[in-house]
Structure 1
């Protein structure tokens, strides 16, 4: 089969399209003929090996997982004898980041816990765009942010992959949602029915008088003191992505702020979870959430897809169409 191989850490230039052996599922695994995959920030970390702390998980000198790609959507081709919930022909989607990655290829194996049946009302590309970004948004809002209906929620970095899902999920959970983005992305957030949109090129939300129950920091470089300033007295800030300095501030200063005030500052490390994938599937099936796709690339164009993604201006998700 054809697969994208990352033989060493580096820029997208290190990626190679090669013929490799087709994987064989174990007794506990499913073999998926992949129709689509997508790029997330985690893929960029796996490609570059940066920040260097990530190499403790991904391999110190070279990538432990030579075929990148976490999000996957495709058709079950074969199942191991102990697999109970899938059969050949089933259309599935999921996140392979906790079980070896490998979705930038024509086939991949995965434990059935990493997959769910694909919503029948969306394409493989739309399905592949959803798992990692959608579950990250869900876990940030619900598990870390403890979102409640009627709350005022701000999403900083609302037009990217995680951000577009966060806006929609927060709306589906009954929140009043403010999205922060650049001028070119205002229409996207309006189409997702954000209640308010702030253009960060014209207005700094951290200097406004408005206060929020929950802030999800998906992008940006504000110090956490700025986020704290616009939280309500018992508000919660959840760091999902953004500047590295902001991440370290949240990890180091967040616990102190949380202990010495009613305001809570925390950081999210997304964990793939089949139950959350099923929750996301229902939102996609009912139309409460949709995948926003910026660009689609073919398997032999993955390096170009990474180059575009690392520019940081993608509107929604960057998807790889494979079959």
Structure 2
């Protein structure tokens, strides 16, 4: 099979498009012929091995996994003897979590990492959902305890997590304010945001407005600034944590203190791969409550260019890979 191969830390041009052995599924795995994949921020973090502490998890001197990529969608080609939920020919989508290996023509996955792709949904759309969609869903529902009628603000509303967060928050019946740059305001409105704030012109943490729930998809503000924008009993959810020393200090030490003293809850989390949540997202896809925003599409052969573009930080929604 062909794959985007990376056996050393470095910039995107360290990726090679090469022939590799086709994986063999274990008794509890499914072999999928991949038709589409999508990129996440974690892909270029692992690729570069920066910040340095990520190497403690992904390989000190070189990546443990030589094929990047979490999100994928494709067709089941074979199933292990212990697999009961999927059959040859099923269309599926899912994620490989931190293990990677989705930027290849074939991938092996466990049943827990998969859900059936809704009929009528393209492989590319389905491949864009797993990591970003799970992060938005779990952040709002599980950590934010979202409820109908709440005022919800999504900070960093233009990326993969942010765009899904707008759509999912609307699906829960809330009033949504999206914070993004000037060029992304129209997109935020088009996917359901009731209000938009251009962060280049207005600082929502100082404009006097208060929100019941804030999902910080990029956590560009200090925890104290976010707290100013929360109403009494409000919740701040920081998606993915913060890789800076200041952010880690706030998450580990300051957030618990503020949560106890202020009457407002502060939490930081990393999404967990749960099949029941993939199935929930499949339902949202099927009935149109979420429609992935795809900025650019690249062939698998051009995975290096795709990662370079995502790393620039200006992508609207998701960046997808298609397999020729």
Instruction: Output the TM-score relative to the length of structure 2.
Output: 0.97
Residue by residue over 1:174-220, the C-alpha shift from the partner in whole angstroms, topping out at 9 and shown as x without a partner, is: 11100001111111011111110001111110111110011011125
Gap regions ≥5 residues in structure 2: none
1:301 aligns with 2:294: no
Residue by residue over 1:103-151, the C-alpha shift from the partner in whole angstroms, topping out at 9 and shown as x without a partner, is: 1000011111100000112100000000110000001101111111111
Distance 1:202 1:160, change over 3 A: same
Alignment-derived partner of residue 88 in structure 1: 88
SS at match of 2:33: strand
1:175 aligns with 2:177: no
1:258 is displaced (CA, Å) by 1.0
* Correspondence list, 1:176-255, <5 A: 176-241=175-240, 244-245=243-244, 247-248=247-248, 249-255=250-256
- Once residues 252 and 93 of structure 2 are traced to their aligned partners in structure 1, the CA distance between those partners, rounded to angstroms, is 32
* Correspondence list, 1:114-125, <5 A: 114-125=113-124
Moved more, 49-58 or 267-276: 49-58
SS at match of 1:207: coil
Alignment-derived partner of residue 72 in structure 1: 72
Alignment-derived partner of residue 279 in structure 2: 278
Q: Does the 8 A contact of 2:241 with 2:270 survive in 1?
A: no
Moved more, 207-216 or 250-259: 250-259
1:143 aligns with 2:142: yes
Instruction: Output the TM-score relative to the length of structure 1.
Output: 0.97
SS at match of 2:102: coil
Q: Does the 8 A contact of 2:241 with 2:268 survive in 1?
A: no
Runs of 4+ in 1 over 6 A off after TM superposition: none
Alignment-derived partner of residue 288 in structure 2: 287
Gap regions ≥5 residues in structure 1: none
Q: Does the 8 A contact of 1:221 with 1:243 survive in 2?
A: no
Alignment-derived partner of residue 263 in structure 1: 264
- Once residues 251 and 280 of structure 1 are traced to their aligned partners in structure 2, the CA distance between those partners, rounded to angstroms, is 30
1:256 is displaced (CA, Å) by 1.4
